[in-house]
Amino acid sequence: MAQWAIGIDFGGTAIKAAVVDEAKGILLDRRVFTDTASGVTGMIAQLASIIAELYRHALHSLDAQDFAGAGVGAPGAVDSVKGLLSYPPNLPGWEVVALRDELQQYVMERDGLSIPVFIDNDANVAAYGEARYGAGKAFNDFIMVTLGTGVGGGIVLNRKLYRGGHGTAGEVGFMILDFEGEGVHAGIRGTLESFIGKKGILSMARRMINESEVASSVGQLCGDDYAKLSPRHIEQAALEGDAVCLAVWNRVGSILGVGLANVAVLMDIRKFVIGGGISAAGDLIFVPAREQLKRSMLPPMHDGLELVPALLGNKAGMYGAAALCFG
Amino acid sequence: MAQWAIGIDFGGTAIKAAVVDEAKGILLDRRVFTDTASGVTGMIAQLASIIAELYRHALHSLDAQDFAGAGVGAPGAVDSVKGLLSYPPNLPGWEVVALRDELQQYVMERDGLSIPVFIDNDANVAAYGEARYGAGKAFNDFIMVTLGTGVGGGIVLNRKLYRGGHGTAGEVGFMILDFEGEGVHAGIRGTLESFIGKKGILSMARRMINESEVASSVGQLCGDDYAKLSPRHIEQAALEGDAVCLAVWNRVGSILGVGLANVAVLMDIRKFVIGGGISAAGDLIFVPAREQLKRSMLPPMHDGLELVPALLGNKAGMYGAAALCFG
């Protein structure tokens, strides 16, 4: 009999949770807005409610004996061994919280359920979801890079999460690609995120539109109000053939390629899974990224290079969180 | 009874070999010039002779039963599983050679000795030597960076060599730190080696001397012939207080710090062992490297950061090669 688990993607905006069958995937899911105003205890209560509800619901068709636990992907630094979540950037009022134990205890005290809880950070959990159920299934070793508001990463080696000695491995957004460059993110100059995080892309686009000798058609899409410019506008204009926006994505992809090459030469990882909202731009990013990746590495190291889109979209977190319980 | 092994540092200039007792370290050693003119077979014969000689010599005081084998650190890409050495840059005429098996067979056929042979690349072997006998003894996870003509690296995770899926992990010299920078090494722009390999340091120094408003005293050390400028001259001038040369080392150390920060954020490695001829400049490099390392990482990730000099000097290769046999 296959195991099943509850997988939770705990974000600053929404909590997404699913019952996941190890073999069949997601059986049912739920989504609620994160009640950030209710503080640590309130949010733990929210998580506990969803776990208890999904668990009871699942028991109509699944066997309690095959239940592997509830996994949580959380935003912030997570010590998965100790079960601690530290300073999640989008959860006001949280400092260091023993999320795993507090959640387990809450579910026990309020609902009388003894449920093993596992936690890890959201980037790791998304990578693990893709490893077990998505674009990484065929790869022993890969890095998943999430392109969104920020640039996150999760590393899978030998089909297991590589967390590093302090649980902070995979922070590819903090990799420095131009140490004398202009962009600064979180006080650090020239990081991958400073270039191709959402903010970086938008300021790159505004600069390139400004400096271009040919006019960009993207102005029509944002009502000529460049403060309202979004990655979607740049994507749409590029797909319609706008040269400036094509050049923007070309540069975004190239810079991503440089970052991936650094991962490849350091860790000997040659498989790259790219996800996150910004990655919807697809080949606009992937084609220049693949080219730059090769240009940035010696030819004998090109063997086996693959850059592929993530497959699970915003379900990667739920899948990966559940998979934490399957071990 | 402790094991013992023969450790060989096989370089383009010299072959250094030692009998290493697992507990006591190097018992005796030999050094011969590499006979590159003799081609693949000639060099394999050289290695075989040294192994046979050291083995027979060692048997005067050591037990054959405790012999673990002969390890070889070789310059170039090594597949340690298959025992292949590919395209060693400093050994003319070598392409892909089954060094392990050919050496083992040669020792058997000519000397009638059945000796297990292990091979790995020189950077990995040096890192493993420091891990077992040197500056890395206290560290579970670290990277050793060798600053010499080139910039090499070897990664130790959980006290074992991390080689990656294709055996090419740790190529920190190829990490790109300024993708639009001027320096190019092996066709790739802005790599760590393009900045702080020997050639990079010398051209950086010449430029800084040229552009400086104050005269540098280093001219006196190289007879005002800047084609003859060496890292030693720059080191000596800096130690005598020359502002330009101090600034050169400051920049070398800073750039090293940026590279190490990239290793830290990606792999969650916080211990750095720095070796190689250029590292003789010591604190001239280490102090700015430590400062830049911190500036390049978020404060919560500063815990446990340590940058230390390698301890084994040019013996790291022999130690590490022997340690390959100890498993």
Q: What is the mean pLDDT of each run of 10 residues along chain B (327 residues)?
A: 93 94 96 92 96 96 97 92 88 89 96 96 96 97 95 97 93 96 91 96 96 93 94 97 98 98 98 96 98 95 96 97 94
Same domain flag for A180 and A254: yes
Angle (nearest 5°) at CA A105 between B301 and A34: 65
Residue A12 burial class via C-beta count within 10 angstroms: exposed 0-12, middle 13-18, buried 19 and up: middle
Same domain flag for A123 and A164: no
Smallest CA–CA distance, residue A256 to chain B, in Å, is 11
pLDDT band at A175 (very low <50, low <70, confident <90, very high): very high
N-term to C-term CA, chain A: 16
| Among the partner residues B174, B190, B295, nearest to A265 by beta-carbon distance | B174
Q: Is the pLDDT of residue A1 over 70?
A: no
**Which helix H or strand E contains B213, and what residues bound it?**
none
Count of pairs with CB atoms under 8 A, one residue in A, one in B: 138
CATH of the domain at A271: 3.30.420.40
Which strand ranges, in their side-by-side order, compose the sheet holding A96-97?
Answer: A77-79, A84-86, A96-97
Q: Tell me, yes or no, whether A133 lies in a domain.
A: no
Residue B298 touches chain A, beta carbons under 8 Å: yes
Those residues whose C-beta lies under 8 Å from the C-beta of residue A206, and which sit 6 or more positions away, are: A226, A229
Phi, psi of A279 (to 5 degrees): -70, -5
Phi, psi of B273 (to 5 degrees): -110, 125
Domain that holds residue A49: 4-128+316-326
Identify the CA nearest to A71 among candidates A112, A17, A108: A17
Those residues whose C-beta lies under 8 Å from the C-beta of residue A221, and which sit 6 or more positions away, are: A233, A236, A237
Nearest chain B residue to A182 by CA distance is B178
Identify the CA nearest to B200 among candidates B236, B169, B234: B234
Cα A229 to its chain centre, rounded Å, is 23
Residue A180 touches chain B, beta carbons under 8 Å: yes
Q: Name which residue leads in pLDDT, A311 or B75.
A: A311
Interchain pair A176, B261: CB under 8 A: yes
| Among the partner residues B86, B167, B266, nearest to A175 by beta-carbon distance | B266
Same domain flag for B157 and B293: yes
Same domain flag for B68 and B18: yes
| Among the partner residues B172, B179, B298, nearest to A186 by beta-carbon distance | B298
Q: What residues in B contact A85, CB-CB < 8 Å?
A: none
Nearest chain B residue to A266 by CA distance is B170
Same domain flag for B260 and B321: no
Nearest chain B residue to A270 by CA distance is B165
Same domain flag for A156 and A179: yes
DSSP β-ladder status, B184-185 and B188-189: antiparallel
| Among the partner residues A170, A176, A268, nearest to B262 by beta-carbon distance | A176
Same domain flag for A153 and A282: yes
Nearest chain B residue to A161 by CA distance is B267
Same domain flag for A110 and A196: no
Q: Tell me, yes or no, whether B196 lies in a domain.
A: yes
| Token couple for B89 | 């840059």
pLDDT band at A325 (very low <50, low <70, confident <90, very high): very high
Q: Tell me, yes or no, whether A264 lies in a domain.
A: yes
Phi, psi of A135 (to 5 degrees): -70, -15
Residue B86 touches chain A, beta carbons under 8 Å: yes
pLDDT of residue B94: 85
Interchain pair A268, B295: CB under 8 A: no
Asked if A314 contacts A21 with a C-beta cutoff of 8 angstroms, the reply is no
pLDDT band at A77 (very low <50, low <70, confident <90, very high): confident
Q: Tell me, yes or no, whether A55 lies in a domain.
A: yes
Three-state secondary structure along chain A?
A: CCCEEEEEEECCCEEEEEEEECCCEEEEEEEEECCHHHHHHHHHHHHHHHHHHHHHHHCCCCCHHHEEEEEEEECCEEECCCCEEECCCCCCCCCEECHHHHHHHHHHHHHCCCCCEEEEEHHHHHHHHHHHHCCCCCCCCEEEEEECCCEEEEEEECCEEECCCCCCCCCHHHCECECCCCCEECCEECEHHHHHCHHHHHHHHHHHHHHCCCCCCHHHHCCCCHHHCCHHHHHHHHHCCCHHHHHHHHHHHHHHHHHHHHHHHHHCCCEEEEECHHHHHCHHHHHHHHHHHHHCCCHHHCCCCEEEECCCHHHHHHHHHHHHHHC
| Among the partner residues B176, B258, B263, nearest to A258 by beta-carbon distance | B176
Residue A141 touches chain B, beta carbons under 8 Å: yes
pLDDT of residue A313: 95
Interchain pair B164, A268: CB under 8 A: yes
DSSP structure class, residue B25: E
Nearest chain B residue to A164 by CA distance is B268
CA distances (Å), B82 to each of A40, A255, B78, B85, B167, in order? 54, 35, 9, 9, 10
Amino acid of residue B222: C
Cβ atoms within 10 Å, residue B171: 28
Residue A175 burial class via C-beta count within 10 angstroms: exposed 0-12, middle 13-18, buried 19 and up: buried
Same domain flag for B113 and B202: no
Whose tokens are 């509800």? That residue is A53
ipTM: 0.94
CA distances (Å), B111 to each of B48, B108, B194, in order? 8, 6, 45
Could you say which residues from 8 to 67 on chain B have a Cβ atom under 8 Å away from some Cβ of chain A? Answer: none
Q: What residues in A contact B124, CB-CB < 8 Å?
A: none
| Among the partner residues B140, B166, B178, nearest to A165 by beta-carbon distance | B140
pLDDT of residue B1: 65
Q: Tell me, yes or no, whether A111 lies in a domain.
A: yes
Identify the CA nearest to B67 among candidates B22, B104, B26, B125: B22
Smallest CA–CA distance, residue A274 to chain B, in Å, is 16
> What average pLDDT score do residues A205-215 get?
95
Same domain flag for A271 and A143: yes
Smallest CA–CA distance, residue B258 to chain A, in Å, is 7
Identify the CA nearest to A1 among candidates A66, A67, A56: A66
Residue A172 touches chain B, beta carbons under 8 Å: yes
Could you say which residues from 217 to 256 on chain A have a Cβ atom under 8 Å away from some Cβ of chain B? Answer: 254-255
Those residues whose C-beta lies under 8 Å from the C-beta of residue B27, and which sit 6 or more positions away, are: B4, B18, B19, B20, B21, B58, B61, B62
| Token couple for A310 | 């993530």
Q: How many distinct structural domains can be found in chain A?
A: 2
Interchain pair B303, A166: CB under 8 A: yes
Q: What residues in A contact B265, CB-CB < 8 Å?
A: 168, 171-172, 174-175
Q: Tell me, yes or no, whether B203 lies in a domain.
A: yes
Residue A167 touches chain B, beta carbons under 8 Å: yes
Q: What residues in A contact B306, CB-CB < 8 Å?
A: none
Same domain flag for B184 and B236: yes
- Packing angle, helices A39-58 and A99-111, rounded to 10: 60
Residue A203 burial class via C-beta count within 10 angstroms: exposed 0-12, middle 13-18, buried 19 and up: middle
Interchain pair B176, A267: CB under 8 A: no
Distance CA B116, CA B105 (A): 10
Mutate to test the interface with B, among A155, A157, A176, A194 (most CBs of B within 10 A): A176
Same domain flag for B144 and B287: yes
